[in-house]
Amino acid sequence: MNVFDAINTRRSIRSFQDKPIEEEKLQRVLDAGRLAPSAKNTQEWRYVVVKDAELRRKVAVAANNQYFIAEAPVVIVGCATWADYILSCGQLAHSIDVAISMDHMSLQAVEEGLGTCWIGAFKEDAVKKILYVPPEMRVVEIMPLGYPKFQPDPKPRKPLEEIVFYDKYQ
Amino acid sequence: MNVFDAINTRRSIRSFQDKPIEEEKLQRVLDAGRLAPSAKNTQEWRYVVVKDAELRRKVAVAANNQYFIAEAPVVIVGCATWADYILSCGQLAHSIDVAISMDHMSLQAVEEGLGTCWIGAFKEDAVKKILYVPPEMRVVEIMPLGYPKFQPDPKPRKPLEEIVFYDKYQ
């Protein structure tokens, strides 16, 4: 599957089959994230890959009771070390770097026939406690991973004319 | 090219050929960004696509004199509206959403035979002034886009064992 097809067929999946993920597929998804670029090549991402059913349930509860998260056989919890580094443009490096790395994963998942969903609605302290993530680290995004029950329709997107400007923003 | 090959052959390109980008390639790269997911489907990304040579030079100067940026025939400046929205996990939504969208672009660029580089080292206020970006918006990343002069060697990455933990961070 080429890159554009993966981007175009990716959906936010909120309903997963009760079917395990082949280990080689999971490893390729993680490897896709591993190969991502990061500020100063810091690679500050750390991933807690949650397979244990009771821990998945606890993470789903900490994610504002989004129970579908626990349906997925694997829940990838994207964390960051070196979390106070600010780029000279004013952005937190780890937020951008972890997002790039997890986006790699989400597109590789499509290629593997798997589905994901970006979850930013969760209680960070609760997730840290459940997974023993040290306080000085950040938890950036949670991404359930599994075989989708079905392919949802695409969500609407603004046309390019609304989001792209040439030479000057106007 | 499949997703994994695009991820695996992507490099940070800091040297560009003096060769224009075919318009249909540029539009597919932008479209790849347009199709990205975002918190509440906000699509808060706005892109200033800088083609004018003098403006590219000014942006390169504002990016701490990284002159190679101006070598690229196109410089994509990733901005965000709705920049104060904080996800319940504590992260700024726009930083993550713009990173996801620009990561889509960077991988589509590979598929098109083009190169990119993530630039987070720039003076945000100066870039805003050059491109007439309103003060309440943010400039998140700058991404030069063009045909690479050469394919650099891959940078080292930590092995999966250093960045992936199962069920608990330890």
Q: Model confidence over B121-131: pLDDT tens digits?
A: 999 999 999 99
Q: What is the DSSP letter of A135?
A: T
Contact B120, A39 (CB under 8 A): yes
Q: CB–CB of A8 and B107 under 8 A?
A: no
Domain ranges for chain B: 3-163
Contacts for B79 with CB less than 8 Å, ≥ 6 apart: A169, B45, B46, B47, B48, B98, B133, B137, B138, B139, B140
Tens of each residue's pLDDT in chain A, 170 residues:
999 999 999 999 999 999 999 999 999 999 999 999 999 999 999 999 999 999 999 999 999 999 999 999 999 999 999 999 999 999 999 999 999 999 999 999 999 999 999 999 999 999 999 999 999 999 999 999 999 999 999 999 999 999 999 999 98
Question: What is the number of residues in chain A?
Answer: 170
Please give the pLDDT value at position A170: 81
Residue B32 has pLDDT above 90, yes or no: yes
d(CA B145, CA B115) in angstroms, rounded, equals 6
Give the tokens for residue B128: 């805003």
Does the ipTM surpass 0.95? yes
Q: CB–CB of A89 and B140 under 8 A?
A: yes
Contacts for B5 with CB less than 8 Å, ≥ 6 apart: none
* CB neighbours of residue B8 within 10 Å: 14
d(CA B36, CA B106) in angstroms, rounded, equals 12
Q: Model confidence over B55-85: pLDDT tens digits?
A: 999 999 999 999 999 999 999 999 999 999 9
Does A49 reach chain B within 8 Å, measured CB to CB? yes
Express as a percent the part of chain B with pLDDT over 70.
100
Q: What is the mean pLDDT of chain B?
A: 98
Q: Taking the domain B3-163, which CATH number applies?
A: 3.40.109.10
Q: CB–CB of A169 and B133 under 8 A?
A: yes
Q: Which residues does chain A have within 8 Å of residue B111's beta carbon, measured at their own beta carbons?
A: 2-4
Query: Hey, which residues 96-125 in chain B have their CB within 8 Å of chain A?
Result: 96-97, 99-100, 103-104, 107-108, 110-111, 118, 120-124
Please give the pLDDT value at position B170: 81
Q: Model confidence over B98-143: pLDDT tens digits?
A: 999 999 999 999 999 999 999 999 999 999 999 999 999 999 999 9
Place of tokens 């997002």: A99
Name the residue among A113, A98, A114, A119 with its Cα closest to residue A36. Answer: A98
Give the tokens for residue A21: 């993920």
Average pLDDT over residues B7-24: 98
